[in-house]
């Protein structure tokens, strides 16, 4: 089963990180498709920003518009059923007794990457791009570089494939992610990410800030805001 070496499937949630990854893939591969996962998360608003963000990227560049292929959303409510966490149930946000954040859905990225690999292989897309990151990794063990690299081997053996899991944000922090967006798509892309993408754990789209829209108080908002301040201080 030959994979097209200039093609990619991007795990796209509509957040800052995955939007930056999508722009990264559009700058690099000739055929780029997107995949998302609906799993009963409290911030289902992420699903609503997907299409506006994709359209916004196409509007920034005729090349990107030509390269951007179909989107698909895989229903994974079952993940919320087997994997209890603050993102899918009414648990308080904070830290669990074992030190992991309560928003952690154990194994979530393992499941996402596995389904993405199955779809990529069917679609003959060689590169699977995910916005996972060790730097701000919030204690999620399935975002670690070791996990992703071991998983690539397991997936390729299990699918008899030669997929490549690409993680362009693995070693950069949130300030550098803003800078990467600017390099890839200029201030137009930075503005698109500020205005359209969604990161807030609480799903708040009512409060506007210079770094984006969100409650401003949850861990995800604070991380995004802090990265923005450092990015702005450096530019």
Nearer of residues 68 and 161 to a copy of itself, judged by Cβ:
161
Nearer of residues 107 and 216 to a copy of itself, judged by Cβ:
107
CB of 203 to a copy of itself, least distance (A): 23
CB of 75 to a copy of itself, least distance (A): 6
DSSP 84: -
- Which spans in the chain are helix H? 16-26, 45-60, 62-67, 77-82, 108-123, 145-159, 174-196, 219-234
Nearer of residues 19 and 166 to a copy of itself, judged by Cβ:
166
Q: With H, G, I as helix, E, B as strand and everything else as coil, classify residue 9.
A: strand
The candidate with the shortest Cα–Cα distance to 10, out of 116, 122, 142, is 116
For residues 98 and 86, the answer to whether their CB atoms sit within 8 Å is no
Which residues in this chain contact a copy of itself in the complex, by CB under 8 A? 1, 74-76, 78, 81-84, 98, 106-107, 109-111, 114-115, 117-119, 121-122, 141-142, 144, 146-147, 150-151, 153-155, 157-160
CB of 202 to a copy of itself, least distance (A): 25
CB of 204 to a copy of itself, least distance (A): 29
Nearer of residues 10 and 194 to a copy of itself, judged by Cβ:
10
CB of 70 to a copy of itself, least distance (A): 14
Helix axes 16-26, 45-60, angle to 10 degrees: 30
Nearer of residues 96 and 230 to a copy of itself, judged by Cβ:
96
For residues 205 and 65, the answer to whether their CB atoms sit within 8 Å is no
As a whole number of angstroms, the distance between CA 130 and CA 180 comes to 15
């Amino acid at each position: 089963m030959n994979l097209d070496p200039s093609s990619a499937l991007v795990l796209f949630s509509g957040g800052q990180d995955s939007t930056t990854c999508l722009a990264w893939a559009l700058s690099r591969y000739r055929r780029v498709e997107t995949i998302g996962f609906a799993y009963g998360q409290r911030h289902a608003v992420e699903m609503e920003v997907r299409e506006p963000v994709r359209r916004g990227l196409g509007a920034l560049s005729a090349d990107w518009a030509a390269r951007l292929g179909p989107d698909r959303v895989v229903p994974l409510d079952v993940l919320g059923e087997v994997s209890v966490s603050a993102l899918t149930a009414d648990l308080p946000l904070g830290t669990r007794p074992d030190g992991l954040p309560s928003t952690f859905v154990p194994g979530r990225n393992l499941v996402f990457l596995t389904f993405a690999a199955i779809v990529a292989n069917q679609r003959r897309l060689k590169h699977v791009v995910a916005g996972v990151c060790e730097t701000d990794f919030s204690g999620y063990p399935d975002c670690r570089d070791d996990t992703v690299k071991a998983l690539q081997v397991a997936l390729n053996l299990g699918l008899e494939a030669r997929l490549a899991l690409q993680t362009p944000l693995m070693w950069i922090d949130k300030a550098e992610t803003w800078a990467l967006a600017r390099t890839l798509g200029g201030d137009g892309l930075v503005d698109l990410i500020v205005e359209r993408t969604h990161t807030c754990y609480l799903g708040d789209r009512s409060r506007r800030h210079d770094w984006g829209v969100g409650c401003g108080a949850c861990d995800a908002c604070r991380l995004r805001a802090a990265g923005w301040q450092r990015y702005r201080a450096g530019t």
